Structures are given as structure tokens and as C-alpha cells.
Structure 1
Amino acid sequence: MVSEGVDVAAALHWVEVLTSPVVRVEELRGGWTSTMLALATRSHGELVLRLMTREPWRTHGPSLTTREHEVQHALAATAVPAPRPVALDAEGEACGVSAHLMTRVPGAVDVDRVDPASLARLADVLAGIHGVQPTVDVRTFQSWAWQAKFVAPEWAADTGLWESAFDLLRTDPPGYEPRLIHRDFQHRNVLWSGDAVTGVVDWVETSIGPAWLDVAHCCTNIAIGHGSDRADAFATAYVERTGARPQSYFDVMDVVGFLPPPGRASFITAHDERERLEGHLLRAMRRVAS
């Protein structure tokens, strides 16, 4: 639902001035940071308009939308199936909030694509992203496992496990070869058409960092929904394609990053999902120990 105080009419007028009349508007579901509008235009085809409406991302909207715009420009010369940038209103001068207009890539999200063939295709796509040499300046990655999150969740079955994870993250991370990373690579940001991956979306968090952090983030998302066996299968598929060495430190960092900051509710509320998240952490910590 579009946030209060957002002038959608002004945003659509901005689009029409830059392109052509908008003949259809549909709000896309699933966005946590933004209002995402799918637009059909009279002569410029299908577009997507990101309106950075939700806090805390709205406050950082200018940098997030600018990053996505610049990264998509850089990806246009690669085989990565990303949207192409059309226009940017980073400061919200026309739209009232930071806005990014881009092409709409075909396909649909399918969070249940965890069969071996689909996981192999995901690994292929992620390896392709990590092989890109960026032609624009991209920030160094930020950990989402902040010190303030180092509190075992009240639902934890093994608080000692979490405390051990926090202790690990108080140490320096292992060395890594800097790579272009999507930073939020997961099923919700991958589009499928039939058996093919047709799009990777949501490039606002793109960074330079450890490739394994992208693998870890996808694994955590898979584990929450489908269990650690499927997550491990994805990691194995990535290793088989790249020869990468797993870095379990980043697996732990990613799991802890799913904890809410102080004063905010967790978005993982289902009992079975919490169990799977903790079980995934246990596997990662066992790998660290070995």
C-alpha cells in the first residue's frame, strides 16, 4: 500500500513527461523498502517506478536510488539480467520522495524453486554477478549484524549458540577477494519464466565485498523457508561452479543480521521459520568449529 503523504499523481506526471502517457498502474507486492509500481506506457513499454516510501530507507533514499541507477547502468553492458535505468529523481524534487524509473524485466518471483536444477540456475546467475568488473564506484559492503543486535532472541531454544555466534562476530572477518555483490540476492529478488531466470531486481544495496556473503544471504533465506539441506545444496552448487572456498564466518554474520534491532519487532514470526533459522545457525557454527 502506498504510504500516506506520497503524491503518486505527481510521480506519474514525472514519468509521463519523461516517457509517454501511462495507461495502466499496478502496485507490485513484496517490497519492504519501497512502493513499487508497474507501469504500462503508451510508447515506452513496461516500466517499474520505485518510490522510496518506507523508513528507515526513505531517509537514505537519495543514496539508495542513486546506487541502483548507477549499478544498473554498469550492468547494461553485461549478461546479468537486470532492469535498465530510465530516469532518477534521487532528491524527490518531482516525486516528493526518492524515485527511480527503470525497465520492467519479464518473469515472476517463485520462492519455492529449490529443486536441484533451479538451485543450479541460481548459482549460475550469482556467479555471473560476481564476475562483473564494475565500471562505477560502489561502496564497500556493510554488515547487517550490528553490535546492537547481539541479544539472543526470546524464542531461542539455545541461547548459548547465539552468544557463541556474537563472540565470533566480535572478531575480525576473514580475508576475501573483493567482488561486486548484489547484497540481497535471494528468491524474492529473482524472476523466473519457465525454467529460466529472466531477471534479478533490487540493486539498492549493491556493494563491493565477499562473494560468500551473497551465497550466505541466499542460503539463510532458503533455510528459513525450506530448511538447511536445500540451503546447503545451493552453496554446493555455487562452489561447484566457482571453486570458491566457503567462509562460514559470513554464514554466521548473515543469520545474526536477521535479528531485529532493539525496539523493533522481528519479521520472522512463525515458529517453524524461527526453528529453521536457529538450526541453520547451528550448522554454520559447527562448520566454524571444524
Structure 2
Amino acid sequence: MQSTESTLSDRALKWVVDAIHPEAEVLSAERLFGGVSSPVHGISLRVDGEVRHFVLRQIDNKEWLQEQPDLVVREAESLRRAAEAAGVRIPAVVAFDETGSRCGTGMPALLMTRLEGKVVLEPEDRFAWLNGMAQALIQIHDVKAGDFPWAFAPYCNAASLDTSSWSKVPDQWQIAAGIVTSERPAFTARFIHRDFHPANVLWSGGAVSGVVDWVNGCIGPAGVDVGHCRVNLALLYDVRTADEFLTLYRQYAGDSFAYDPYWDLVTLIDFAYWPPEVYGGWTALGMGGLTTEMMIERLDAYLVSLLDRVSKTKAQADQRAKG
């Protein structure tokens, strides 16, 4: 994440210090950018002569909090559960303020450790980049979390999807909406990140060094994480890149993952429900050259590729049924 001068209040900083060590010295506090859903600050402290680094997330979206008042608790529990993933580093929970009353801001807050590494959106070796993300996601999905209390739900109501104001293929979007609002396929419930994409993956020394932003962690179909990452890749690059990620994930998952394009369509509609625009997190992280027109073209192209997958899947099922 990129950073700039801190806007943290003295009381919020005191809460951070008290959570770490009452005699800790604040060395720096800076606003981090790259995410757009809530204010995030990086804070460095000297504790017993050692410099330690932390991240403070504060939730300031009142509408989001009305819908999900337990967001901070959810992220804290997601982080704790995700820490069980073998081979993937996850921020550790230090403290949280469910209402923001102790921070004095009225914004629910979560303090966690800061991981080494940075986001990579323009890799020198795209195959290694996709491969690292696929391996990390497999390890997350291997976490045993059948008792996790938060469950997957779509962000948008596909039945009210209307792309006529921007898409060149609005009729095909309606076909996609019809598929999503039909019977949901069976799936194996797994622990999922729910917002897995390149801007939430950190890299150091050419390898994945951590996965961050766990506020949406829940139990749901693995295809939702795969699909969410794929639509991000289709927008950042193209359909081919999204398909390469799917191929790698399927190779690692083996028989534990039954791919169904239905979940790709669910996550795609999350992006198409409102007129497309370039994601602010990408530009904040230095990704240039993207335009709204490109986002529209790439969403349409990805949609067409998915509907083709649906047709082929149906044809294969019909062929098997005939023997």
C-alpha cells in the first residue's frame, strides 16, 4: 500500500500504544492507500528497544456498519482462523474496539501486525505471479472452519441487474442474470477470503509473503474466491490471464474442487451491477493506463467467455446423460 501523512487522533494513538505496551514510543503513523473500503494506517513503535510495525483499520462506512455491525469482530475472527493456513502468512490480531468508543473516534477499529512485502500488480513473471496466488488460495481453502459463524451471501441481487446504459451486449448480461437466479449448484462449504484478488496479496523476494484484508471472511464455495480473483485479473489484464489462474488453481486443487462457471457469474455480476469504473485501489498502488472504456470492454469479453463455458458444460452434461 502507498502511504501519506497520518490523520489519526491522539486518543486513537494512545489506544494503540496501550494495546502494545504502555511505554511504547510512536515512531511514525501514516495513512495507507490501496484499499478503498475503510481508513487504514501503518504505525511503527519502539518497544523495549525493538521497532515493531502494525496496521490499524477503522470502519467509517455507516451504511456498511448498519448492515454488518460486527465487522471488526468478523475480521478479527477471520484473521485468527486464517492463521491456521499452512504456508500463508496472515496478520495477527492485537486488539479491537468493536464500537470505536475506546479509540474516541466512534469508528470500530482493529489493530493487527503488519506483514512484510508489497502488492504487485505488474509482475515481471506473470506465470509465477499467478502460480503464487493460486497456491496461497489453495492453502486458505484447506483451513478447517465448518463452525465459522459467517456465511457467504451475494453482494448484489442479480434479478435487478441492468447493464443497458453501458454494455454492448446487455442481452447476454440478462442471460447471465437468469443463470445466477436459477437453482444454485451444490458445493462443498470451505473457509473463504471472499475478497481474494491481487491487491490483497503481498510479495517479498519473488514469493507471496502474506494475504491481507479479511473483513469479509466467511464459509462458502471455493468458486467464489476463484471467481472474484478471476474477474479482477480479467479487468487488470484479459480473459486469458483469468483463465490461466483458473487452470493453476484446478491443478493444485485436484478432485477437491469441482469447477462450475455459475460462481464466476455470481462474482462477475458483483462488478457489473453498477456502471464500471477503474478501481481506485489499483490507481493508488500505481497501476496506470486503465480507463473506464477498457473496464467495459473487458467485462463484456469476460462475460462472453463465461457464457461459452456454461454452454460447453451443459453440452458435456447432456452428452454424458445420453451415455
Judge same fold: TM > 0.5, yes or no: yes
- Whether 1:141 and 2:152 are equivalent positions in the alignment is yes
Distance in 1 between the 2:307 and 2:273 partners? 20
- Whether 1:51 and 2:58 are equivalent positions in the alignment is yes
CA shift in 2, pair 1:153/1:108, >3 Å? farther
| Aligned residue in 2 for 1:27 | 31
CA shift in 2, pair 1:7/1:124, >3 Å? closer
Gaps of 5+ in 2: 1-6, 279-290, 313-323
Aligned residues of 1:66 and 1:88 also touching (Cα < 8 A):
yes
Which moved further from structure 2: 55-64 or 156-165? 55-64
Q: Give the alignment of 1:77-226 within 5 angstroms.
A: 77-79=84-86, 80-95=88-103, 96-113=106-123, 115-134=126-145, 137-147=148-158, 149-226=160-237
Q: Percent identity?
A: 34
CA shift in 2, pair 1:249/1:135, >3 Å? closer
Distance in 1 between the 2:59 and 2:65 partners? 5
CA shift in 2, pair 1:61/1:98, >3 Å? farther
Partner amino acid for 2:296? Answer: R
Which moved further from structure 2: 75-84 or 45-54? 75-84
Partner of 2:13, secondary structure, is helix
| Aligned residue in 2 for 1:3 | none
Which string of whole-angstrom CA distances, capped at 9 and with x for unpartnered residues, describes residues 138-175 of structure 1?
A: 31101123246511241100111111011111102110
Distance in 2 between the 1:236 and 1:75 partners? 24
- Whether 1:281 and 2:303 are equivalent positions in the alignment is yes
| Aligned residue in 2 for 1:66 | 73
| Aligned residue in 2 for 1:231 | 242
Quote the offset at 1:62 in angstroms: 4.0
Gaps of 5+ in 1: 1-5
CA shift in 2, pair 1:106/1:251, >3 Å? same
CA shift in 2, pair 1:135/1:177, >3 Å? closer
Aligned residues of 1:145 and 1:254 also touching (Cα < 8 A):
no
| Aligned residue in 2 for 1:41 | 45
Larger radius of gyration: 2
Partner of 1:215, secondary structure, is helix
CA shift in 2, pair 1:99/1:60, >3 Å? farther
Which aligned runs of 4 or more in structure 1 are off by greater than 4 angstroms? none
Partner of 1:258, secondary structure, is helix
